[in-house]
């Protein structure tokens, strides 16, 4: 029964995606929606990404310096570990987990509200492919903005680490810089960007699915929003294992 319900949900999700990935009826309308979604889902998330990354960058640097680094370790260890954590996991996976809460709930509640207020029915009656019209710009918009958010997150994390050096004097800026530059592998950067593309697709498509299938009223919209965040977070975590394995 449990497996059957999951397979049914998967089938409905794939059916919805089949409708989503069709050629837009009017490219001028799609383009307008695409720009709007890039702003709403991406640009409006820059603030929270910068803020969280800055503090986590500072905290990681402090933790490594004070609790892990010892006399027999090189001076660049704190900077090196901070860089690797941000490039490999934090800026892609953890940041996308955080974004699944902000962006995912936003998408599910927006589409869910459109469903319960008959706005989706209105689109269907007009002969508009509502799934493609509403969901495709969200997927495309978030997938476009995610690499930028990943880069912003990494830079902000490094700035947080430098704050511990310049403001708190926990580490010297020279040691931090040495660690950030030590044995740099550019593929790690691309690995984070590639993973974030997949996570962006998961956040936008899964949250849209939960919003699109809402039936009822405001209670169901709230439930769909929560379910969307839980499901997309779980899928990000599971897919992170496979993607890390494949890309490493």
Partner 1 sequence: MIQLRGISKTFEDGRTVLRDISTDFHQGNTNLIIGQSGSGKTVLMKCIVGLFTPSHGQVLYDGRDFVTMNKRERTMLRREMGMIFQSAALFDSMSVLENVMFPLDMFSFDSYKERRRRAQYCLDRVNLQDAGDKFPGEISGGMQKRVAIARAIALNPKYLFCDEPNSGLDPKTSLVIDELIHSITKEYGMTTIINTHDMNSVMGIGEHILYIYQGENAWEGTKDEVIHSDNERLNSFIFASDLFRKVKEVNK
Nearer residue to partner 1 within complex by CB, 73 or 121: 121
Q: Which of 66, 122, 168, 246 binds partner 1 (CB under 8 A)?
A: 122
Could you give the CA distance from residue 134 to residue 36 in angstroms, rounded to a whole number? 11
CA nearest neighbour of 132 among 13, 12, 210, 16? 16
DSSP one-letter code for 92 = I
Q: Which of 117, 181, 185, 218 binds partner 1 (CB under 8 A)?
A: 117
Could you give the CA distance from residue 77 to residue 71 in angstroms, rounded to a whole number? 11
Q: Which region among 8-16, 23-31, 76-84, 148-156 touches partner 1 (by CB under 8 A)? A: 23-31
CB of 116 to partner 1, least distance (A): 9
Residue 43 interacting with partner 1 (CB under 8 A): no
Nearer residue to partner 1 within complex by CB, 41 or 64: 41
| Residue 210 tokens, joined | 């939960």
Can you give 143-184 as a three-state secondary structure string?
A: HHHHHHHHHHHHHHHHHHHHHHHHCCCCCCHHHHHHHHHCCC
Q: Which region among 21-29, 147-155, 188-196, 240-248 touches partner 1 (by CB under 8 A)? A: 21-29
Residue 28 interacting with partner 1 (CB under 8 A): yes
Residues numbered 138 to 197 that lie near partner 1 (CB under 8 A) are none
DSSP one-letter code for 75 = T
| Residue 236 phi, psi dihedral angles, 5° rounding | -65, -45
Q: Which of 126, 167, 186, 241 binds partner 1 (CB under 8 A)?
A: 126
93 neighbors 240 (Cβ within 8 angstroms): yes
Residue 125 interacting with partner 1 (CB under 8 A): yes
CB of 198 to partner 1, least distance (A): 28
**Considering just the CA atoms, what is the radius of gyration of the chain in Å?**
21
Nearer residue to partner 1 within complex by CB, 1 or 126: 126
Q: Which region among 1-9, 20-28, 202-210, 216-224 touches partner 1 (by CB under 8 A)? A: 20-28
CB of 90 to partner 1, least distance (A): 33
CA nearest neighbour of 41 among 112, 108, 91, 133? 108
Residue 127 interacting with partner 1 (CB under 8 A): yes
CA nearest neighbour of 165 among 180, 145, 150? 180
CB of 126 to partner 1, least distance (A): 6
Q: Which residue stretches of 86-129 are H helix?
A: 95-99, 105-116, 119-125
Q: Which region among 68-76, 118-126, 211-219, 234-242 touches partner 1 (by CB under 8 A)? A: 118-126
- Using DSSP's 3-state secondary structure scheme, residue 71 falls into coil
Give the footprint of partner 1 on this chain (CB under 8 A): 25-26, 28-29, 36, 113, 117-119, 121-122, 124-128
């Amino acid at each position: 029964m449990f497996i059957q319900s999951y397979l049914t949900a998967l089938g409905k999700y794939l059916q919805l995606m089949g409708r989503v990935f069709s050629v837009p009826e009017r490219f001028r309308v799609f383009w307008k929606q695409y720009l709007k979604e890039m702003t709403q889902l991406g640009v409006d998330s820059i603030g929270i990404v910068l803020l969280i990354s800055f503090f986590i960058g500072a905290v990681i640097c402090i933790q490594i310096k004070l609790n892990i680094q010892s006399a027999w370790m090189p001076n660049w260890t704190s900077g090196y570990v901070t860089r690797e954590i941000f490039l490999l996991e934090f800026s892609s996976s953890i940041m996308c987990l955080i974004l699944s809460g902000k962006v995912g709930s936003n998408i599910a509640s927006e589409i869910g509200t459109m469903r319960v207020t008959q706005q989706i029915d209105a689109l269907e009656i007009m002969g508009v492919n509502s799934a493609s019209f509403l969901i495709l710009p969200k997927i495309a918009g978030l997938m476009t903005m995610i690499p930028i958010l990943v880069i912003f997150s990494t830079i902000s994390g490094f700035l947080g680490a430098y704050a511990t050096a310049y403001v708190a004097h926990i580490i010297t800026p020279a040691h931090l810089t040495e660690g950030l530059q030590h044995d740099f592998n550019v593929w790690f950067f691309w690995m984070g960007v590639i993973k974030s593309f997949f996570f962006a697709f998961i956040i936008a498509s899964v949250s849209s699915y939960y919003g699109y299938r809402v039936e009822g009223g405001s209670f169901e919209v709230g439930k769909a929003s929560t379910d969307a965040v839980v499901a997309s977070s779980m899928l990000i975590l599971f897919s992170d294992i496979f993607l890390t394995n494949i890309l490493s």
